[in-house]
Amino acid sequence: MRKLAFAGLAAVTAAVLTTVGVAAADPPPSSLVQISSFGANPGALAMYTYTPSGLETGRPVVVALHGCTQSAADYYAHSGWPALADRWRFAVVFPQQSTANNSLKCFNWFSTADDTRGNGEAASIKSMVDKAIADHGSDSSRVFVTGLSAGGGMTADLLAAYPDVFAAGGINAGLPAQCATSVTEATNCQQNDQHLTPAQWASRVKAQYPGYSGPWPRVAIWQGTGDYTVYPVNGTELRDQWTAVHGVSQSPTSTQSLPGSTTLTDYAGKVRLYSIAGMGHGTAVDPGTGPTQCGSTGAYFLAGICSSYYTGVFFGLDNGSGTTTTATTTSAPAGTCVSASNYAHTQAGRAHQSGGQTYANGSNQAMGLWNTFTIHALRETSPGYWVLADGQC
């Protein structure tokens, strides 16, 4: 009955996470291997793996979750994780959703039947982790998870449900853990500020494994400021959620400028928010042979910066060998400040409107009615990221 229920969501799920990709042909078995039996599979998912030739025991495992309409082969082909696995020596697990579970092949990040500890798809992914560790003699203390869009939402849920399994996670254009428990709530989460405090967000994580006191997974958050499928406010809410889980301030400890118009904001080394100016909905890649490059472009794989590389460095997969830039400690960086009508802000690309309401680009802060009479000041705190600054210009 569960599969039938989700199979009937074709029309409404299209509005939930439209990470529409063009499915790549499955690579040959020598590259991407399906594991037909991996233990308990209550979520009815498929397991694929990529294992570097001659992989040693005691190496890490990375779980990589595709977006809606995509496949394990898509994420294998474009994300850059296999090349990094060869370079840094770790196994990669690529779970795959089916249309029987969800008509658009979205991981069901908004269903408690699938995104909670011991249940559904989350439990199936945990079985895949156990299988990979057993097959490769992997280091169970270095298991990581990352994903795009619906896969990013499931990544956050997995970090909350299994903080004892995953040491860290990378969330690409995803949603806060346990933001939604229905399709209707999921659409609201994608597009709107939920107006929860950091403590309230953190409580949603900690409720997933009662009695667990840590350590908590570190989290890398990737968000395009021009993403209006999963709105930029989700990056801010993820930042609030996971800094509060770790008990650190929402004020940054440092910022860095990275390639691809990317601003990295660090929070005590526990949480990192990578904001990509102007980027829409997708996983950021940077094709090429340079030391920080990886991946290839495709549907919802967008050129600019190799997010997988920087996420891998954050995970520690490079054993400290990765190329980094020097951080500059700062607080609330000052930038351009403009006072204008909501209409003028949208025309100039500082804000956008939805349903007659105006929202600041980047922060997605509500600014009121979209017209020439409502005046607000906006300050650009990083490229393409605008916040309300009334009385400050």
N-terminal to C-terminal alpha carbon distance within the chain: 58
- Of 138, 149, 363, 382, the catalytic one is 149
Tokens, residue 366: 């509500």
Dist CA 159 CA 177 (whole Å): 8
Chain Cα centroid distance, residue 109: 12
Tokens, residue 151: 């896969």
Dist CA 296 CA 171 (whole Å): 19
Q: What is the 3-state secondary structure (H, E, C) of the chain?
A: CHHHHHHCCHHHHCCCCCCCCCCCCCCCCCCCEEECCCCCCCCCCEEEEECCCCCCCCCCEEEEECCCCCCHHHHHHHCCHHHHHHHHCCEEEEEECCCCCCCCCCCCCCCCCCCCCCCHHHHHHHHHHHHHHHHHCCCCCCEEEEEECHHHHHHHHHHHHCCCCCCEEEEECCCCCCCCCCHHHHHHHHHCCCCCCHHHHHHHHHCCCCCCCCCCCEEEEEEECCCCCCCCHHHHHHHHHHHHHHCCCCCCCEEEEECCCEEEEEECCCEEEEEECCCCCCEEEECCCCCCCECCCECCEEECCCHHHHHHHHHCCCCCCCCCCCCECCCCCCCCEEEEEHHHHHHCCCEEEECCEEEECECCCEEEECCCCCEEEEEEEECCEEEECCCCC
Query: Could you give the C-alpha distances from 43 to 100, 159, 208, in angstroms and in order?
Result: 10, 17, 18
Instruction: Tell me, yes or no, if 149 is annotated catalytic.
Output: yes
Active site residues: 149
